[in-house]
Amino acid sequence: TLKRAYNFNAGPSALPEEVLVKAQKELVNFNETGMSVMELSHRSKDYEAIHNEAKTLLAELLSIPDNYEILFIQGGASLQFSMIPMNFLTEEKVGNYVLTGSWSEKALKEAKILGRSTAVAATTKETNYNRIPKLTELNVSPDDGYVHITSNNTIFGTQWKEFPNIENNMLIADMSSDILSKPLPIEKFSMIYAGAQKNLGPSGVTVVIIRKDLLEKTNENTPSMLRYDTYAKNNSLYNTPPTFSIYMLKNVLQWVSERGGVAETDRRNQEKAALIYNAIDESNGFYQGHAETESRSLMNLTFNLRNEELSKKFLQEAKEEGFVGLNGHRSVGGCRASTYNAVPYEACDQLQQFMTKFKKRHE
């Protein structure tokens, strides 16, 4: 096998080695076309097969019911922050946001820029976003246009373990950093969206899973490229989609499927995270997790050392040992290990060993 880094980047992040090797093999001559996927017409049969297979595989893996559409959109998860209020906050409707970190704040900010009515269903900012609110803390109303949550908070390292039942059936979730990491109760959501560059593939495509009845609710004054129904009516081929990103997405979905699907992926992710959380929990406070235990994420594991100086030393030595991407987000500092689906068990095991050795040396 190749010499691969222990890649703990938060996104873009590790891709499965098998997927990269497959893409390399197919790069200059895809399926005997004499072309790479990047050179195929997006209207060709060869490309369309890739596009449709990506949708089929995702629907199978996440057991997405027939009353949902899968859309491929560009502009990242960040464009969804704007498209959601543009499409759904018509007339008197209120967009209700649960604030659990910087990405939820950004989602709310875009609705405000558009001048739409907003509310905050709950926030955990007062404790520096170290936990997910309890379901009983949510202040929601059946009149809300939607309730928006961030299922996994990439920067703070918290994750929803249980999702609320929203009375008007309009729960929307940004699942950018934990989609495909575990089985999901899709029916609880009216819409789920995720930038691909963590668990799904390279950047360039955002996956949207949307209940079909929502497609009729779009504000008529919304430009075509910013309307969900434009994508739905045209199989996400209204204009040129990011063909290579969707091809890679298809390959990643095949890889997950071949390895036993999302239930098996969940089991592996729990095992990987446990290695590192154990190193934290058994360190007598040498490492301190940022998140409260019940809220901690299986995707982004955030922790601090005694002081900034020791954290710096930890990151420096980790880098020298070949670990990549362990710095906390620039807005919070500290350390963060992102253990997405494609991060192998071995990388987490190596990190745990490094943490134990580092502690012995610096206690």
Residues in the annotated binding site: 43, 77-78, 103, 154, 174, 197, 239-240
Quick check: is 55 catalytic? Answer: no
Min dist CB 199 to ligand PMP, Å, is: 11
| Least distance to ligand PMP, CB of residue 194, Å | 8
**Partners of residue 296 on adjacent β-strands:** 158
Nearer to ligand PMP, 218 or 297 (CB): 297
CB of 315 to ligand PMP, least distance (A): 20
Alpha carbon 238 to its chain's center: 25
Whose CA is closest to 350, among 6, 13, 3, 2? 6
Burial class (CB in 10 A: 0-12, 13-18, 19+), 95: buried
Output the DSSP codes for 218-275. Answer: --TTS-GGG-HHHHHHTTT-SS---HHHHHHHHHHHHHHHHTTHHHHHHHHHHHHHHH
* Nearest to ligand PMP of 69, 178 (CB atom): 178
CB of 150 or CB of 302, closer to ligand PMP = 150
**How far apart are CB 164 and ligand PMP at their closest, in Å?**
18
What's the distance, CA 301 to chain centroid? 14
What is the total residue count of the chain? 363
Beta-strand pair 158-159/288-289:
unpaired
Q: Least separation, in Å, of the C-beta of 26 and ligand PMP?
A: 26
Question: Which CB, 101 or 305, lies closer to ligand PMP?
Answer: 101
Which residue of the set 55, 93, 182, 198 is catalytic? 198
Q: Which is nearer to ligand PMP, 145 or 195 (CB)?
A: 195
Strand partners, 211: 68
DSSP label of 90: -
Q: Is 144 an annotated catalytic residue?
A: no
The one-letter code for the residue type at 82 is S
103 a catalytic residue: yes
| Contact residues: ligand PMP, CB under 6 A | 11, 76-78, 103, 150, 154, 174, 176-177, 195
Residue nearest to ligand PMP (CB): 76
DSSP 3-state of 362: helix
The CA distance from 116 to 309, in Å, is: 44
Q: Which is catalytic among the residues 55, 160, 174, 250?
A: 174
Q: How many helices (H) and strands (E) does the chain have?
A: 9, 14
| Residue of 103, 144, 229, 272 marked active site | 103
Name 119's bridge partners.
96
Q: Which residues are annotated as a binding site for L-glutamate?
A: 43
Enzyme catalytic residues: 103, 174, 198
